[in-house]
A and B are shown apart, each in its own frame.
Chain A
Amino acid sequence: MSLQNLKTQFDTLLSNLNASGTLNFASTVEAGYEALTLAEVMNEYKKVYGKILHVTTPSSNKFLNQSPGRFRVERSFKIEFSSGLVFYFAADIEVFGLGALREDKPLGILFEADVVVLSEEHIQDILRNFRGFPAPQHIDSAYECKFGQYNKGQLRELLGLRRHLSYLSPSNSTATLLFNEWVRHSNPPIALKMVRPRTHIFYDIQTAKLYDLEQIIV
């Protein structure tokens, strides 16, 4: 084979990966990685909250959305733990910020979160009074998933999401230890993590600690 043929062969192999459907390969991987993260987060809650009594799965296994939007019960996983606690795990949800917390109303702009965990006690409030978009008072933990691209903007995005969701002040948090870290400086005490397949420099580690931000590997 000539080098020219080698090029043609590699070109063809890569273009075939993008050939079918509405999503290119890179976007497909990012979507799949969100699903994997969701499953990992559910397993972490199992570690923390103990035995699972029942898992309700989304209809048609459809829980990822090409465009983020409202929380919907039928597009999320519901897990009942033996302790009596019940959580919903959802992907691609838009969430209100601190204004909505302060006024206890659906106010202000929405930020997207890749994976969100909500306690069952807040579900009716979210659906009835917040048009299906959770506000900080409803959120137990949130996760940003990045499989492929790595850039500075993503770190700023995570920092922005933290300030959208929580005040920076010492927390009397009884929030559960998730992925070996407590939430110490954020109110409401929402656990917020960046999820990647391998470690990368996570901006100034001291600042990250102040904002209760960390990176986990899935």
Chain B
Amino acid sequence: MTQETAKKVFDILLSSIRMNGFTDIGTFVIDRTAKDQEFEEFHSNYEYVNTERAILNLEKLSSNPNYTFYALSRLVEAGLEYFNLASKIPERYAFRMNNLTSQQRIKYKINMQGINEETINIDEKLRSKKIQLVINFLEKIRIGLDMDDKTFLKSF
């Protein structure tokens, strides 16, 4: 992928993420572990890198040709982490529930009571195949980073 295409793809992803209310992905851009000094001490230039700031920093970085690929790769990895973790919540929940007792395995579900007393099936929404489609899309971009532009665009 050329740098110009990488920048365009970055802008496409970020604008869709913002437009559709998925900026939570930005939290998964923040460094996993803080620098020791920042973590242990409270000094005058201490700065929280919050979700919005993480996205803005990444956007700025993407405009620097030397870091465009890095920024795109970080955004894709953050998206994959967000959607993979979200889609595994029902399975992890059921596993933990079954872990409580040694009784027969039960298919535990997550339901929510809505404001109008209706039942919102959280479990079903998080098990939806629609999430897998987003994950597949992001995985294609991850692979495409190492392809030429033509092959990359053909892969969709």
Q: Which of A36, A42, A147 contacts B100 (CB 8 A)?
A: A42
Q: Size range of the interface on B?
A: 35 or more
Q: Which of B40, B82, B90, B108 contacts A148 (CB 8 A)?
A: B82
CA distance A199 to B38 in the complex (A): 14
Inter-chain contacts of A200 with B (CB < 8 A) = 27, 30, 34
Q: Tell me the interface secondary structure of chain B in the complex.
A: helix
The verdict on A180 contacting chain B, using a C-beta distance below 8 Å, is: no
The verdict on A128 contacting chain B, using a C-beta distance below 8 Å, is: no
CA distance A218 to B50 in the complex (A): 20
CA distance A22 to B114 in the complex (A): 8
Inter-chain contacts of B40 with A (CB < 8 A) = 205
Q: Size range of the interface on A?
A: 35 or more
Inter-chain contacts of B22 with A (CB < 8 A) = 14, 25-26
Q: Shortest distance in angstroms between A52's beta carbon and chain B's nearest beta carbon? A: 6
Interchain Cβ contacts under 8 Å between A and B, 13 examples: A10-B16, A13-B134, A22-B118, A23-B125, A26-B22, A35-B110, A43-B96, A61-B108, A64-B111, A66-B114, A151-B48, A203-B48, A206-B42
- 11 further A-B contacts with Cβ under 8 Å, apart from A7-B16, A32-B90, A66-B114, are A1-B156, A3-B9, A24-B21, A25-B22, A28-B122, A31-B120, A42-B97, A43-B99, A62-B119, A150-B27, A203-B48
Residues of A within 8 A of B (CB): 1-3, 5-7, 9-11, 13-18, 20-26, 28-29, 31-33, 35-36, 39-40, 42-43, 46, 52, 55, 57, 60-67, 75, 79, 147-152, 197-201, 203-207
